[in-house]
């Protein structure tokens, strides 16, 4: 009912002084009709119309087995840092910057990469099964949420420097499905109520990054391809590793993301903050070993919920 009221309110809200040149997700267009949604991101950054963009739909019958894709080596992922994490609502997602720099190597990467931040993408928190929000999809199906752990080359000082190399960034992507409660996420989830609005930050106790991921023994099965960042500037030069084994959160845990908003008070709830899948344009998607059938996800939805409901109401 709350989502329906929100959607109908868009019929008469349209009150935002939308700034031309500001990028947004499609779910924000009701309130900010002049913002640049994913189909228009190239107006802000030309790279967003490049031929190696992310995310992609992984068609399992077309993936190519690569024997060099052994299990990755995780360094420092099981270490709890001493400094508290800054959990931030940056107006697009929930983000945590990392300063302890856990590293990952092997698995065909060639060099080591250090983790600099992680963030999430989701659909409609109150309806995770019906309105999923993972960025990547498998055979046209999506999961409720997707976790991205962003890494840069070990020898780069920051993301800006890393972007100067064609292999400067590596992102590990983990699907999140609606299933059992995951107590390892409670520290983060309990703080969401304190970062409701854009710019809000709160310090939380640090966690070993491994506690947010599937067990390491389940991380040997993954897909690999060359792509881009999934939001402007859409920088190409990102090595993507998309793991088959999903993280589990309960429906109740996923629903707690409903506390977040894209902007200030009375702004659009932060939902459907994902980029639609992009064409492969001839790129190969590699796999580490024989694929297995993933748990049932949900078919990709074409329109954000709020605007879909509006069209039905008209």
Tokens describing residue 184: 């390892």
Q: What is the distance between the alpha carbons of residues 199 and 204, in angstroms, rounded to a whole number?
A: 16
Q: What is the distance between the alpha carbons of residues 115 and 209, in angstroms, rounded to a whole number?
A: 10
Tokens describing residue 250: 């309960």
Q: What is the distance between the alpha carbons of residues 196 and 176, in angstroms, rounded to a whole number?
A: 22
Non-local (6+) Cβ contacts of 310 within 8 A are: 7, 8, 10, 11, 30
Q: What is the distance between the alpha carbons of residues 15 and 114, in angstroms, rounded to a whole number?
A: 43
Beta bridge partners of 203: 86
Tokens describing residue 259: 């506390």
Question: Of the listed 92, 119, 151, 261, which one is catalytic?
Answer: 92
Quickly tell me which residue has 């960025």 as its tokens. Answer: 135
Q: What is the distance between the alpha carbons of residues 219 and 217, in angstroms, rounded to a whole number?
A: 6
Q: How big is the chain, counted in residues?
A: 314
Tokens describing residue 25: 């997700």
Q: What is the distance between the alpha carbons of residues 13 and 267, in angstroms, rounded to a whole number?
A: 10
Sheet with 57-58: strands ordered across:
57-58, 137-138, 141-142, 298-299
92 in active site: yes
Q: What is the distance between the alpha carbons of residues 212 and 207, in angstroms, rounded to a whole number?
A: 8
The SS3 of residue 309 is helix
Q: Give the DSSP per-residue string, 34-85.
A: TSB-GGGGGGT-GGGGSSS-S--EE-GGG-EE-TT-PPEEEESTTPPPSSPE
Q: List, by residue number, the catalytic residues.
A: 92
């Amino acid at each position: 009912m709350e989502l329906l009221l929100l959607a109908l309110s868009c019929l008469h809200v349209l009150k935002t002084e939308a700034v031309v040149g500001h990028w947004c997700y499609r779910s924000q267009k009701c309130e900010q009709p002049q913002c640049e949604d994913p189909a228009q991101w190239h107006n802000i950054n030309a790279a967003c119309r490049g031929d190696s963009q992310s995310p992609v739909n992984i068609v399992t019958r077309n993936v190519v087995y690569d024997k060099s894709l052994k299990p990755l080596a995780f360094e420092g992922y099981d270490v709890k840092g001493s400094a508290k994490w800054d959990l931030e609502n940056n107006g697009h997602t929930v983000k945590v910057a990392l300063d302890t720099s856990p590293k990952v190597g092997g698995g065909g990467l060639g060099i080591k990469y250090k983790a600099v931040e992680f963030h999430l993408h989701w659909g409609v928190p109150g309806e995770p099964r019906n309105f999923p929000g993972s960025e990547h999809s498998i055979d046209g199906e999506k999961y409720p949420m997707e976790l991205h752990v962003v890494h840069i080359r070990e020898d780069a000082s920051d993301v800006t420097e890393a972007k100067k190399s064609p292999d400067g960034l590596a992102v590990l992507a983990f699907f999140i499905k609606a299933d059992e409660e995951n107590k390892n996420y409670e520290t983060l989830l309990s703080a969401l109520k304190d970062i409701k609005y854009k710019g809000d930050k709160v310090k939380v106790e640090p966690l070993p990054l491994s506690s947010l991921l599937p067990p390491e023994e389940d991380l040997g099965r993954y897909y690999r391809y060359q792509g881009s960042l999934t939001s402007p500037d859409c920088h190409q030069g990102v090595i993507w590793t998309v793991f088959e084994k999903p993280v589990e959160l309960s429906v109740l845990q996923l629903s707690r993301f409903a506390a977040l908003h894209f902007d200030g008070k009375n702004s659009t709830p932060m939902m459907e903050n994902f980029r639609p899948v992009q064409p492969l344009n001839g790129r190969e998607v590699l796999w580490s070993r024989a694929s297995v059938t993933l748990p049932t996800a949900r078919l990709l939805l074409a329109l954000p919920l709020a605007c879909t409901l509006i069209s039905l109401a008209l």
